[in-house]
Every structure is written in C-alpha cells, then in structure tokens.
Chain A
Amino acid sequence: MRSIEVLGPGCGNCRVLYERTRQAVRELGLECEVEKITDLNVIVGYRVMSTPALVVDGQVKLAGRVPSVEQLKQLLS
C-alpha cells in the first residue's frame, strides 16, 4: 500500500473519516501517510459523486459513507 487519500470538501463527515482512517492505519501498523484532499478538481477527477470518499493507491474504495474504525481496518488490510 503506497497512498491513502480521504476526499471531501471539509464537512464534518469528511473530518470523521479522516480521523478514523488515521486511527485504522495506526492500529494496523501501516507505514503510510493519510492525505486529506479538499480540492474539488481532484475529487471530481476521481469521478466520486458523494463525499467523503476513501482512495487507496488511486482506487476509490468507499464513497458517501463513514464506516467504523473496525470496518476501515478490514478494508485496509
């Protein structure tokens, strides 16, 4: 795994997903930065229609939902 990005223009849900993703990465012991993307051009470029979204290595894994830390860990491992 090389890159994890959280897409969202900065609403409450986006912040929650960002925090939970960071926690999941920490708990899994992954050597990976979690990046927060607020640029609408980039978000639209991923063809995501609902935020927040989770992008792992350039692939959209999740959109429009805020799952629990446990579910995120399943998704990332």
Chain B
Amino acid sequence: MSEAASLPRARSRRPHPLAWRIGMGLVAWVALYAALGPASRWLAHSVLRASADTHLGSALEFFIFDSPKVLLLLTLIVFAVGVIRSFFTPERTRAILAGKKESVGNVLAAGLGVVTPFCSCSAVPLFLGFLTAGVPLGVTFSFLIAAPMVNEIALALLFGLFGWKVAALYVGTGLAIAVVAGWVIGRLHLEGHVEPWVSATVSGRPGYDAGSLDWDMRLRMGLEAVQGIVGKIWPYVLVGIAVGAVIHGWVPENFMARIMGKGAWWSVPLAVLIGVPMYSNAAGIIPVVQALLGKGAALGTVLAFMMAVIGLSLPEVIILRRVLRPRLIAAFLGVVSGGIVVVGYLFNWLV
C-alpha cells in the first residue's frame, strides 16, 4: 500500500514520464519490426553472402531472420501480459471462483489461469488458498493446468515461428484440456486424497491485500516482467534458434517423417512421454521443434510434445506431492497427458 500511495506525489512533479517513455518505446518497436525483413535480407545476402543453396547459408538465413523477430515479439507480448496481469491477483481470482459451480467454474478457472500471475513454485500456497476458500477441487485443477500451459513465452515463440494460426490453436486446445481435465478430476471425487494437514492450516491472520494500483504501477509491472522474463530466457531462445538453424541447414528433408510423421502412430504418446519430465526449456525447445516440422514431423505430434513440455513438469509434480496423495497426482498426470495425446492425434488427423 505505502508503495502505491507514494507514487502520485512523484507523478505530479513529472507528468507521466513512464507512460511517455513506454509510448516512445512502442513507436521504436513498430519501426524496428517493420525494418526487420529488409535489414535481415541485407545482412544475410549482401554482408554475409549467405545463399539458401548451401547448408551454412540456409542455416545462417534461418538464424538471422528468426532470432530478432522472436526476441522482439517476446518483449512486446511479455510486457502486454505483465500489464494485463496487474489487473488480476490470486486473491481476486479466488474470490471470483469461490462458490462457483463446476463446469462454469472450470471454464472460468481455465481462463483466469492464463491471466493471473502464477509461478509453479507457489502452486502449493495457491492450491491451499483455493481449497480453503471453498473452490471445488476440479475447478482448482482447471486453474493449475491452464496457468503453466498457456503462457506468454510459448505464445510469443509460437506466434513468431509458426504464425498466428498455430499460436491460436495452442491457446484454444490448452484451455480446452484445462477445462475438461479439471472437470474429469472433479468427477473422480478424489477430495479424500488431499494431504490431511491441508485442512488444518487456516489461521486467524489477515490475508494480503494488494490495494488498487494506478497505471504508472501497472506499466512498471509490465517492465518488471520484461526484465525478469526476457532478461532471463533470451540466451535459451538464441541457443534454441541456433540448434533449429543447424537442423534447418543440415538435416535432410523428410528425415523426421518416419520418427515424428503422421504414419508413426506411436509418435504422439512417445512425444508426450518424453516431454513431461522436461521443463523450463520451452524457450529453447520451440525453435528446435519448429525446425523439425520442416523436416517432415507432423503438426499434432509437435503440438503434443510442446504441450507436454510446457504444461506438465516434474518439478511442479514434486512440489504438488506435498499436498496431494499419489493417487490424486496420478489422476492429474494421467488425465492431462491423456488430453494432450488426444489433441495430438486430432491434429494429425485433421491437418
């Protein structure tokens, strides 16, 4: 509170310096993005003399075109999501979800999971906070599944590398899995498989109230998100695009068709099995996977792999194990991976 209260004073001295700077930043962003195509072409063809006919040339071209585009998109999307998330807090989301019936609750929870700030390391306090406020178990799971699955990093990378259609597909199917899986978990009636200390933790202390924020603060939170996320993951993104570039340049066409192609029916479950234990490399993995798509891998298989990597992770399961008994953990993993496999087959069959 005191932090928010001290801001208007600073603002009246200098009228909207932050908003002004961000406006200028946005103009610069648009100019940079527009100049990207010609600049990359000039760098790749005139300066480096890269030709798409050679292995090195096509790899260089891939890297030079994709890395600045992806980093620019990442910065903008992370900033926008950071600002949007300043309107939502876990406390407010909980208040919306408390007392909601299942089905409506599942849909709301999945949607709110995307816009509420969430870090998988606070999965336990959040889980307990939801349950003690009377949010049904299945609705809580819809939130916990959507929050990591549909994230801004994946969205930015998919948008930059695959285009808006695949990005939209990813968001849509991610939400659908969260809604359905949460609903199924609710139907399984596993409330008894929550560790017993959960019901004993409610104390008399007052909870946290963030108070209301002004726009200056919201913009600042967007910048913090850019600093915290883009500042941390950009090396992974570049390494991922570099590996993707090597695949693009040297791996022969249709190399992946036998392993990850439509004909290999076992590739979807296998992709999910490999993807689940992988974590936080989403930034580095998406460019690699995109390159594989060009070598004959099927879209559904690729989508399933990415969802498994991003949506389910071993560290999160270990954290959740502190509040969930093994049977509930197994139900959670089983239902979500099942959903991802279905999505994978669906797209292999559709596209």
Contact = CB atoms under 8 A, between A and B. Distances in A.
Contact of B90 (A40, A50, A60, A61): A50
A65 interface: yes
Nearest to B93: A49
B117 interface: yes
Contact of B125 (A10, A48, A67, A71): A48
A51 B125 contact: yes
A58 B210 CA distance: 16
B121 A51 contact: yes
Interface stretch (B28-36, B40-48, B105-113, B200-208): B200-208
Contacts of B128: 44
A43 B322 CA distance: 14
Contacts of A66: 224, 228
Contacts of B208: 46-49, 53, 60, 63
Contacts, number: 88
Interface residues of A, number: 33
B89 interface: yes
A71 B228 contact: no
A61 B211 CA distance: 11
A65 B129 contact: no
Interface in A23-66: 40-41, 43-51, 53, 58-66
Contacts of B319: 9
B94 interface: yes
A27 B126 CA distance: 33
Contacts of B224: 65-68
Contact of B203 (A45, A59, A67): A45
A46 B94 CA distance: 16
A45 B205 contact: yes
A1 interface: no
Contacts of B117: 50, 64-65
Contacts of A75: 2-3
Interface residues of B, number: 32
A47 B3 contact: no
Interface in A2-29: 8-14
A50 B3 contact: no
B122 A71 contact: no
B148 to A, nearest CB: 13
B297 interface: no
A40 B125 contact: yes
Nearest to A53: B208
Contacts of B126: 49-50
Contacts of A40: 124-125, 322
A8 B2 CA distance: 22
B347 interface: no
Contacts of B205: 45-47, 58
A10 B9 CA distance: 35
A11 B221 contact: no
Contacts of A10: 121
Given A9-B319, A44-B125, A50 B119 contact: yes
A58 B207 CA distance: 11
Given A40-B124, A49-B126, A74-B3, 20 more contacts: A9-B122, A12-B232, A13-B119, A13-B228, A44-B124, A45-B201, A49-B94, A49-B122, A49-B125, A50-B117, A51-B122, A53-B208, A61-B2, A62-B3, A63-B210, A64-B119, A65-B224, A71-B3, A74-B2, A75-B2
8 contacts: A9-B124, A45-B203, A50-B89, A50-B125, A50-B126, A65-B221, A66-B224, A67-B3
Interface of A: 8-14, 40-41, 43-51, 53, 58-68, 71, 74-75
Interface of B: 2-3, 6, 89-91, 94, 117-119, 121-122, 124-126, 128-130, 197, 201, 203, 205-208, 210, 221, 224, 228, 232, 319, 322
